[in-house]
Amino acid sequence: MTRIIAGIARGRRIAVPATGARPTSDRVREAMFATLDHALGGFTGAQVLDLYAGSGALGLEAASRGAARVVLVERDRAAADVARANARVVGAGEVEVIARSVAAHLAGEPRRYDVVLADPPYTVPAEEVQALLARLAEGWLAPDAVVMVERATRGVGIRWPTGLVALREKRYGGTTLWYGRSAPEGEDP
């Protein structure tokens, strides 16, 4: 079990899928959301996309903090069912769980988001993560949107594609968080 850290659902426990999930620790999530809150000026009214959602903990934390709409994308059907149950437990904001691959979801019609949270399994190749970021920059991001990518510290770093600029990078033991922002039109990353 893990818990929601802040907001209207603070302290509520949510389930973690029995297999295949690597939940982000409370300490890392707390630091992540402090950084995101600062970059966004708060989550109130935000449109949030949580890719590789697993239990939905990241997106549901955003919902608890005031996000208006959260979309959780998780390929594993059992994990998606856990995320749906967790959304009912949290009971905050509009939460939609989509049970399909991130690549299939991003191949669809873009919808603009203020925040994108991407926590792919550490086994997902760096090239696939880079392709994901490039696709996000093609119409999925609202002006001044923030993108957060969680990866293994020992892995390859993030190269922000055209349309995204680096904000910061922070390491927490075996986990590194990379933050980027949608670049203003005409700005070269």
Q: Are 36 and 17 in contact (CB under 8 A)?
A: no
Q: Are 63 and 79 in contact (CB under 8 A)?
A: no
| Tens digit of each residue's pLDDT, the chain (189 residues) | 788 888 888 888 888 887 666 677 778 889 999 999 999 999 999 999 999 999 899 999 999 999 999 999 999 999 999 999 999 888 877 899 999 999 999 999 999 999 999 999 888 989 999 999 999 999 999 999 999 999 988 877 889 999 999 999 999 988 999 999 998 764 544
pLDDT of residue 89: 86
pLDDT of residue 91: 81
Half-sphere exposure of 131 (CA within 13 A, CB side): 11
pLDDT of residue 21: 63
Structural domain spans, the chain: 2-182
Half-sphere exposure of 134 (CA within 13 A, CB side): 7
Class of domain 2-182: alpha beta
Q: Are 74 and 84 in contact (CB under 8 A)?
A: no
pLDDT of residue 183: 85
pLDDT of residue 189: 44
- The closest of 88, 153, 125, 120 to 21, measured between CA atoms, is 120
What letter does residue 154 receive in the DSSP assignment? T
pLDDT of residue 5: 85
* pTM recorded for the entire structure: 0.92
pLDDT of residue 16: 86
* Max CA pair span of the chain: 46
